Structure 1
Amino acid sequence: MDGPSPTRPLSPRAAATRARILDAAIGEFAANGLAGSRVDEIAARAGANKRMLYAYFGAKEDLWLAVLETVYAAKRAEEERLEVAHLAPAEAMSRLVAFNLRYTARHPEFVTLLNQENIHRAAYLRRSADVPALYSPLTRMLREVLARGAEAGLFRKDVDPLQLYLSIVALGHFTVANMHTLSTVFGTDLGSEAALDAREAHVTEMVLGYLRP
C-alpha cells in the first residue's frame, strides 16, 4: 500500500500533527524496529489517533519509509550547512571527518534505523521516489576538497572519492553502532565527550595520513 499523496498543502495544525507522528515513529522504530513497533504506540506517543496516522502516511510500512526519508533529509540538511570552501584543504577535510563522527554520535537513531533497513536489504528504501534526493552533499564536498588538495600538492592524486567517503562514514558509524558492546568490552565509556574527542583526533589523523602524497 502506498502512502497518501496530498494535492494541497496541509494546514499548520495538520502539519504539526504530521510532524509529531513522524517524531514519535522515529523513536518507536529506532527502539523496536519495523516488525516490533506498533501503530497504537506511535499514535499514543504523538498524541494522535490511528485514523490520523493512516490518513497522513498509509500503512505502517509507508510510515517506515517516511521515517527513513526524514532522517536522511535531516542529515543532508546539516551537511549542506557545512562551510568548507574557504578553508585550506587539510582543515576542510578535518571538518568533514569530524562532522560525520559527531553527527552519528548525536543521532544514534539514524544509525539504528539504517541498520534495520539493511536487515530488510533496503526493500523499503528502494520504493522511495526521493532516493536521488538522499544523495549526500558530503560526497560532493569531498570531491571538491580532494581536488583542491591534489592541485596544491597536499593530497595524493589517486584517491577514489567514493572509497574515501565509505571509509569516513564507516569510521563514525561503526563506533556508534557498537558503542555499548565496545564500552563494555574495554571497560570505558566510549560515548563520553573525552572519548569522542580522542576518536575524532584519531580518525582525522588516519584520513589525513592516507591523503599525504
Structure 2
Amino acid sequence: MSELRVKRDPEGTRRRILEAAAEQFTKFGLAGARVDAIATVAGTNERMLYYYFTSKEGLYVAVLEAMYAQFAEREGSLDLSGLQPSDAIRKLAQSIWTHLRDNPQWLNLVNNENLHEGRYLERSSRLRETISPVVDLLRAILERGASEGQFRPGIDPLDFYVTLVGMGYYVVSNRFTLEAFTGRNYAEQRNHESISRLHVDMLLSYLRPDSRTMD
C-alpha cells in the first residue's frame, strides 16, 4: 500500500491497524503480539503504526478502548423507553449477554488485561466515559420502575450493571471449563437461553418491592 493512499485514508488505515491488532492481541496477548505482523495484516508499515499509536502498548490500550466503546455504544443505542421497566431490564440483559456470547474476541482481550491487573486500561483517559451511557440508561429504567411501584427504590445502577454483566460473562468466559466439569455446553443455544432466563428471573426478583416496601 502506497503512502499516498495512507495519507488519503488516515481513518481507514487506523481502523485496519486496530482490527489487525485486536486479532493479534487476542491470539498472542500483549507480549506475544508482533508489531510487524500487525502492520502486514493491516496493509501498512510499522512506521505508520507508531505514528498513530506511539508504541505497541499504546496500540493495545487503543484496541481495548475501541472494544469497550463498541460494547457501550451498542447497549446505549437500545430504545427501551416504550417498554415496561421489567421488560426493559430483560431486553437490556439479553442484549448484553448475547453480545458477550457472540464476541469471544472481546472476552479474550478482557481476560488478558485482567492478567495484567488492569494496568494498561488505567492509562486510558476515555475508558470510563464509555460506561456512563449504559449506566445512565439503566439508572433511568430503575428510577422509572421505582416510581411506578414495580421496583424497590435505592438500587445502585452501577452495582446492578456489574452484577448483570457478571452473570453473562461468567457463563461465556468459562464455557469450556464448565462443560468439562458439568458436562453441559452453555455455548449451545438452548442452554444459553435457559440459563439466561434463570438469570433474568433472579434479577427481577431482586428488584421487586418486598412486603414492607409495599406497605
TM-score by length of 2: 0.88
Q: What residue number does 2:212 align with?
A: none
Runs of 4+ with >4 A deviation: none
Contact 2:68 2:127 in 1 (8 A): no
Please report how far the alpha carbon of residue 162 of structure 1 lies from its aligned counterpart in structure 2 after TM superposition: 2.2
Q: What residue number does 2:188 align with?
A: 192
The number of equivalent residue pairs is 204
Q: What residue number does 2:65 align with?
A: 69
Which residues of 2 match residues 40-189 of structure 1 at below 5 A? 40-189=36-185
Query: RMSD of the TM alignment (CA)?
Result: 1.7
Q: SS in structure 2 opposite 1:153? A: coil
| Equivalent-residue separation in structure 2 for 1:52 and 1:11 (angstroms) | 10
1:40 partner letter: D
Contact 2:25 2:109 in 1 (8 A): yes
Contact 1:89 1:149 in 2 (8 A): yes
Please report how far the alpha carbon of residue 47 of structure 1 lies from its aligned counterpart in structure 2 after TM superposition: 2.4
Cα deviations by residue, 1:65-85 (Å, 9 ceiling, x for unpaired): 110111011111101210111
Percent identity at matched positions?
39
Stretches of structure 2 lacking an aligned partner (at least 5 in a row) = 1-5, 210-215
Contact 1:26 1:67 in 2 (8 A): yes
Cα deviations by residue, 1:161-193 (Å, 9 ceiling, x for unpaired): 222111101001111111111122222321122
| Equivalent-residue separation in structure 1 for 2:155 and 2:39 (angstroms) | 48
